[in-house]
Structure 1
Amino acid sequence: MSGQYGRKTLPGKQTVQCYIGLGSNMGDSRATIAEALERLSELPGVVVEAVAPLYRTAPVGYADQDYFLNTVARVNTTLTPRQLLAGLQQIENDLGRVRVIRWGPRTIDLDILLYGQQTINEPDLQVPHPRMGQRAFVMVPLADLNPEIAVDGERARVLARRLAGEQEITRLD
C-alpha cells in the first residue's frame, strides 16, 4: 500500500521499531485498512515508515467467513507497548471493530507483531505475536518489509516462502 507515511519525525526521543499487522474482511476492507494506516500515522509518538503490499488471504481458525485483506506496517514509536496497544485498540473501536467470535469476521484487526527485540507475555499482550510464524498472512508481508528478521528462530523470508506454499495468499498491489 502506498501513502504519505513517514513524514512526521520524533526529534530527540528514543524510538523503537515495531511491526503492526493489519487485517480486514468486512465492508470495504481496502478503504478500512487505508483509514487505519492513516490513523496509525496520526498517533502521537508513531511514525509509519513503510507498508507492505496488500494480500488476499484465506481465513484461519474460523473458516466460515469471507477472505481477508492483510498487510504489515513498519513503525517507529516512542510509545510503550501498552500505550501502542491502547492506540491500536482505539483505532479498531473507531472503525467499528466488534469482538464476537474468536478469529471471526472483523472490520479491522491491528496487532503488535514485534516491538523491537522485546518479549512480552501478559494475558492481554503477547509480543512477539503468538503463532505469527505459522501464518502466511503475517509472514509474507513481513518478509516484504524485512526478509532477514528472525521469527521463531528462522528468517522471515524462509518462513514466508514455506507458508505461501501451504496457505492460500495472493498479492494484490
Structure 2
Amino acid sequence: MTPILAALAFATAAAAQPDGCAALSTLIFSGNGGWRAHGAAPAWRVDDGGFAIDDDGARVYDASVESPAFAVPNERGEIVVEHSVDVSWASTAAVLDVSIDGAPWRDFVAAGGRFDGGGYDATSYRGNPLGERAAWGGTTALLTRAVLPRETHGKHVRLRFRIGSGGSGDARAGWRIGRVGCAW
C-alpha cells in the first residue's frame, strides 16, 4: 500500500451532509483512515481538485483508490461521481467495487448496486488484471449516479475505484475522478 501525499476538499459541503457522507466529500490520501492508493506504477496523483492516473497503454498494471468506511442510512443511498475516462481501447478498463462491513471487495453491480446514469460502457478483456467483466472504457466524461446495494443499508461501506491494463494498448490520458459525493 502506497499512500499519496496531500489532502484536498471537494466542492460538496461536508457540513450539509450526514456523517457518512462527509467521508466521501473530503478526499484524503494518507495512512490515517482516509482515502488510500494502491499499485506501484502508474501512481495515482492529486490533479485539479480530484485525483488521476495516467494510462501509458504499454504496461500491465492494477491500481486502485479506496475510500474510508462510511455509514449508510437505513434507506436508499446514492453515490455521485464526476469522472472522465480516456484509456486504451485495447486493454485498459476501470471499475467500481464495494466492501460491506469489511467483507471482501465485490463489483458494485454484482453486489446488488445499480447505475442510474453514467454506468459501465465497456468490458475488460481476459488479459486485464480485472478479469473479463463490465467496466468503463474508451473515452468519455461521466456523471455516475450509483444506487448502493440494499445490503448496504444501515452498514459501513468502502468504495474502491480500480483500473487495470493488460499492457497491449496505446498511451492515453487515463482516469480522472473530480468529485465523489452522496445523496441521502
Same fold (TM over 0.5): no
Greater share of strand residues, 1 or 2?
2
Question: Whose relative contact order is higher, 1 or 2, with alpha carbons under 8 Å and at least 6 apart?
Answer: 2
Provide TM-score, normalisation by structure 2: 0.29
Provide TM-score, normalisation by structure 1: 0.30
